[in-house]
Structure formats: C-alpha cells, structure tokens
C-alpha cells in the first residue's frame, strides 16, 4: 500500500486554507505558506504561540493593530482567529499576504554575497517607501510606534515596494513611565522584542520617570538607512568586537565609510536621526521633508 499525506486544514471566517510548507520561525511564532482552497491563492500564515493570558492578549492586540492602518507600505491582514491548543495554551492565527521575494535583509545579504550595493536611485526609492509606512503609523490617533524596525521586518513586493511587517512589538500612544518597576518592565520587553542593533537609546536603559514615544522609530530608521547603504548596522563593528553596544549608542560611536558611493544627503539624514536625546530627535514629518529636499538636489544634478 502506498503512503498518503494529509495536509493540515485551517478555517478562518469561513475561509479554508491548506498548509503547504513552513517558511520560517522566530522566538514567538511560526510562519507557514498556505493556499486558500476556493481561490488557489497563496498566503502566509503567522502562528503566535500563547502560553499565558498576557501572551494571548498581546497576540490579539497584534492582530487588531493591523486594522488601524490602510497603507501600501504596511502589511495588510486578510483574516485572523484565536484557537485553543493544548491545556491552557492557545494560538492566534494571522493570514497575511505571501510575498515571495522575502525581506529587505534577504536582498541585502544577496548584494553582500556578490560584493554589490543598492544603486542610489533604488536606495532613495526604498527609503521613501519605508518612511511612508512609518508616517502612517505615527499619524494614527494616537500615534503608534513599531519599536522593531529593521531590514528583516521589511518585505519587498514584486514591484519592489517596501512593506513593513511584524506588529508584535507595537505600542500605541506615548508611554508614561512612573517608577522604577515600570521602567524595568519596559526595559525587559525591549530586550526581548526590540532588535539590539537597531534599538533606540531610551530603550536600552529606561529612566524611572520619562515618556517613551514614537521617536524610537526614528532612531531605528537611521540605523536601517545606514544598513541599506553599507550592508551593516552602524553599530555592528562594536557588537562584533564584543564591546558595550549601549555605550556605543550613547556615544554615537559609529562612522561612515570614506569615499561613500552615495550623496552627502544620506550622511546628513542619518546623523540627524541618530540623535541620542529623543526630544531633540526629528519626527517623521521632518524626515519626509528632508527626503523631498534630497530628491530635488538629486534631480538638479541630473
């Protein structure tokens, strides 16, 4: 007798999906490729494993964040549900678009392997698209901070449009920190969910009385733009040496390669965004205005 293999079936909002293969996994979730039975269309299924009530609540909030935005540069949500797993465990399932090209980090890794770089034109096109997504986040009422912007959390559509994904670290509205216990709690969450090489200084050591707002994303964006141009985070050399990343961030211990292939506007933009004091750091509107100025300068050079 021949062996048969039955594909896993998932039903959400009356729509039936069959699991095709595993695409990847992280510390808190798995991502599978699925196919909708009625249309044959492929999607990505994000499975968030929840082992406690707080984890379940956080996963549900991630799903609900998707419903706040309508931007081509923020990943959309087709459907979602919560289902009981085993014992007290549960699973939150998110049906997301399937983008076969993968992430911006995948693209940068390929370029690095070939000793190539993004062209100037493509660099600025991708930067503007990413900023459009962040602009949509920060202009929600109240504003939303992503808190884990990095090349690995930016997908590339078939038309090269950058799409920000992974809303699991998001926070809505400025967070008022009142006391050491609250500060330590946020610091622990940041250490767990916000990638170290792109993390804003105010999340490395959270003050006992402060306000953490969406400007954490501006710092991360500065790191992302540097990474896109030079294929590593500005603080990666420090990390690779085993030195203190926190001290390097506070001291702005990074430098641009000599004889950069890109226009001076990139250095000016990144330097402005990597401002340690959040109150002095620009907002996304300033960044967008700066991009328009850079674009005009580049057009005049043609």
The residues assigned a catalytic role are: 148
Question: Beta strands of the chain (E only): which ranges?
Answer: 9-12, 15-25, 29-36, 42-50, 79-84, 90-97, 144-145, 154-156, 162-164, 171-172, 175-178, 209-212
Q: Nearest to residue 228, comparing CAs of 270, 259, 190?
A: 270
Nearest to 209 by CA among 174, 175, 173, 177: 177
> 41: how many CB neighbours lie within 10 A of its CB?
13
CA distance 160 to 125: 9
Encoding tokens for residue 84? 């009981």
Helix, strand, or coil here: 230?
helix
The span from the CA of 82 to the CA of 84, in Å, is: 7
């Amino acid at each position: 007798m021949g062996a048969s293999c039955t594909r896993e079936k998932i039903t959400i909002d009356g729509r039936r999906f069959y699991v095709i293969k595993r695409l990847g996994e992280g510390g808190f979730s798995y991502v599978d490729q699925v196919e909708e039975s009625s249309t044959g269309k492929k999607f990505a299924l994000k499975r968030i494993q929840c082992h406690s009530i707080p984890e379940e609540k956080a996963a549900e909030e991630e799903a609900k964040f998707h419903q706040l935005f309508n931007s081509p540069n923020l990943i959309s949500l087709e459907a979602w549900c919560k289902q009981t797993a085993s014992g007290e465990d549960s699973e939150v399932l998110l049906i997301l678009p399937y983008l076969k090209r993968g992430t911006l980090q995948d693209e940068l890794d390929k370029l690095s392997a070939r000793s190539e770089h993004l062209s100037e034109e493509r660099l600025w096109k991708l930067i503007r698209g990413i900023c459009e997504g962040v602009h949509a986040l920060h202009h929600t009422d109240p504003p939303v901070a992503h808190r884990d912007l990095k090349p690995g959390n930016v997908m590339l559509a078939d038309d090269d449009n950058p799409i920000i994904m992974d809303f699991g670290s998001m926070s809505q509205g400025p967070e008022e920190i009142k006391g050491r216990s609250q500060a330590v709690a946020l610091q622990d969450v940041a250490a767990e969910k916000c990638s170290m090489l792109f993390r804003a200084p105010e999340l490395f050591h959270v003050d006992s009385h402060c306000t953490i707002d969406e400007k954490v994303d501006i710092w991360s964006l500065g790191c992302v733009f540097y990474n896109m141009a030079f294929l590593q985070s500005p603080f990666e050399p420090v990390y690779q040496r085993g030195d203190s990343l926190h001290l390097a961030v506070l001291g702005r211990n990074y430098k641009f390669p000599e004889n950069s292939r890109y226009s001076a506007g990139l250095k000016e933009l990144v330097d402005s965004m990597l401002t340690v004091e959040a109150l002095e750091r620009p907002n996304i509107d300033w960044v967008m205005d700066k991009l328009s100025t850079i674009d005009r300068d580049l057009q005049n050079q043609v």
